[in-house]
Amino acid sequence: MVDAQTKVQTLNQEQVAWYETNKAALDEYTKLKAAGGNPPAPAPPAPSGISKEDLEKYLGERDRSYAAVLGLTTTLATQHYKNFGEVLDTGDLIAFAEKNRLPLSEAYSQKFAEPIKARNEKLETKRIDKLVQEKLTAERAQMAGQPFPLRHQDPSVLDTLNATPPDKAQYSAEAAAAEYARITSGA
């Protein structure tokens, strides 16, 4: 019973507080009704949603963003095909970028880091090999004036031969006999 009485007193206090807060509006309503007028119409509620201008602005931003993503994916796909000779799965790339919360170009760099590194190393090796071949070709061109033929323009043991004729006395029969005698005598 005490609980019900407390509830009634609380409700009474809330109603009295409401009446005190809205007493001026109730008095005005009573005066208008006595004068035969209608109370003022309530202000229309603020429209829920967004305005036409805001919608157009949002759609414009969305379209520009979509065009930028489309342009970037086209560029990445073309570059990927040129570099690796295979079609880029842009859906997989976009999913990777969303999963890791990365910009699309950075996601591409991370996802294809190893193939890009291998390709760059291969290109650098080709560049170095080309420079070496150019230098070898230049050296071989300088050796083209040799007095004896070179096989495939590669150096050989024949390159050490002297162009001047040897002393014929070193290769006579007497010189050969003397060399034989020296070798067989053990001296």
- pLDDT, one tens digit per residue, over 126-161 is 999 999 999 888 877 776 666 555 555 566 666 566
Count up the domains in the chain and report the number.
2
Mean pLDDT by 10 residues, the chain (187 residues): 83 88 82 71 75 89 90 90 88 89 89 90 93 84 63 61 66 86 82
Same domain, yes or no: 76 and 114: yes
Same domain, yes or no: 6 and 67: no
- Count Cβ atoms within 10 A of the Cβ of residue 121 and give its class: 0-12 exposed, 13-18 middle, 19 or more buried: exposed
What's the pLDDT score for residue 179? 87
Q: Which range marks the domain in which residue 101 is found? A: 60-131
Distances (CA, A) of 117 to 61, 75, 83, 113: 36, 19, 12, 6
Same domain, yes or no: 68 and 127: yes
Q: What is the DSSP string of 128-159?
A: HHHHHHHHHHHHHHHGGG-SS--STT---GGG
Q: Give the single-character DSSP code of 146.
A: -
Does 138 reside within a domain? no
